[in-house]
Structure 1
């Protein structure tokens, strides 16, 4: 598996999807800046900006971007007509998908870290005082991880056929939008995309967060993803 992941990382040099996703995460930061500066009477600082970035990541940008990133790398196997070749040489569909998932998990970390660094750079430009950087970094990583796990079932199901991942991107975006409406309710603890917010106790003013429920929600979604991966098969190998 490590060799397969390494091979997947090498393949990434042939496409620009990571750059597109990082650009999308940059848009999340810019939107957070606009929202913060446009809110009259609100407290402004690094903490508030990072909170805004996390909110935009979870509800607007990361669900679709992470689905696009992972789905695209899988779909390249169909486009390049390498899916059948891999299956012929004994690489099972499950192993290939597992390598894709692990590789894109690493990419997710890169995107999340880049996102946080951009937040720091812009905060410095705006003259904000930095504090609790490690805590805010942890919050960014946890919520990003929650987003990635939450969209895995969508990615795995929509990637069983050529170009279906685009429908998965649309669905993931819709799921993210729905997160806006549950974030201030008790459903925030069990709705997969917002479970990360509960784990990091996103809004200190709210008392409805249950980190245990949030962890359980993400674990359940991960187990569902594993089940889909184990039971999944390529439905389009013959027509790629």
Structure 2
């Protein structure tokens, strides 16, 4: 398994699609702060400081930038094995499909955490550049921790989408678009069970983020339901990995049967 992880890491060094995540997360704090500048004066937040910027970035990342980036990058990493016609070579090593997909998911998860750390740095630089006040060790640690943890929980929520659209040839763009709509749909759940169990809002609840000022939630979040919401997505991803194993076995049997039929046909002609 270590050799497989090492091989997947070497592949990542040649992937220019990783720039999608870097550019997207660099835009997030700029978009969040810029939205304050374009609205009319009476709607602006006069107390906009570092704490508010960090909160805005946590919300924007989880609602839009993390889902789009992670699903696009993860699905593309899986899809390119078929697009570049390298999957048949990998399967002869032999490497099981679940192990290969699991290795790719592992590195996407590591990359998600690194993107979270990167987002913290970009947010800090943005706030300092525009001259925001209120930067303290407590604010930086709290906001930075929420950004990194939100990256991890959002990744857990996006795992099934990565596996589904990664195994559909050329569908990684469609998967990222769907991830955007699913993340944006947090705005439609204002209270009750759905507000806590919906996977993308659950990803925020688990990191202690208050959504009342962003999604307009009217009830207190339920952390237990949030754990269930994220847990369902993780379980779904595990089931998809098991199904990938069954698909490979079925494919191998079909190939073996076709080869056997071909050999028998050749023998009959020889007779």
Q: Could you tell me which residue of structure 2 aligns to residue 178 of structure 1?
A: 185
Q: Distance in 1 between matches of 2:142 and 2:11?
A: 34
Tell whether the 8 Å contact from 2:183 to 2:200 is kept in structure 1 after alignment.
yes
SS at match of 2:210: coil
Tell whether the 8 Å contact from 1:59 to 1:180 is kept in structure 2 after alignment.
no
- 1:24 CA drift (Å): 0.8
Instruction: Specify whether residues 160 and 236 from structure 1 end up closer, same or farther in structure 2 by C-alpha distance, changes over 3 A only.
Output: farther
SS at match of 2:13: helix
Instruction: Specify whether residues 111 and 41 from structure 1 end up closer, same or farther in structure 2 by C-alpha distance, changes over 3 A only.
Output: closer
1:1-240 equivalences under 5 Å are 1-37=1-37, 38=39, 39-127=43-131, 128-131=133-136, 132=138, 133-182=140-189, 184-186=190-192, 187-203=194-210, 208-232=220-244, 233=247
Q: TM-score, normalised by structure 2?
A: 0.80
Q: Distance in 2 between matches of 1:226 and 1:167?
A: 22
Moved more, 194-203 or 34-43: 34-43
Deviations 1:172-215 (A, max 9, x none): 11111212222x42323111011122123322867511222212
Q: TM-score, normalised by structure 1?
A: 0.90
When the two chains are superposed, the root-mean-square deviation of aligned CA atoms in Å is: 2.2
Higher-Rg member (1/2): 2
Instruction: Specify whether residues 36 and 51 from structure 1 end up closer, same or farther in structure 2 by C-alpha distance, changes over 3 A only.
Output: farther
Q: Distance in 2 between matches of 1:236 and 1:102?
A: 25
User: Aligned residues, how many?
Assistant: 237
SS at match of 1:72: helix
Instruction: Specify whether residues 121 and 148 from structure 1 end up closer, same or farther in structure 2 by C-alpha distance, changes over 3 A only.
Output: same
Instruction: Specify whether residues 198 and 87 from structure 1 end up closer, same or farther in structure 2 by C-alpha distance, changes over 3 A only.
Output: same
- 1:47 CA drift (Å): 0.9
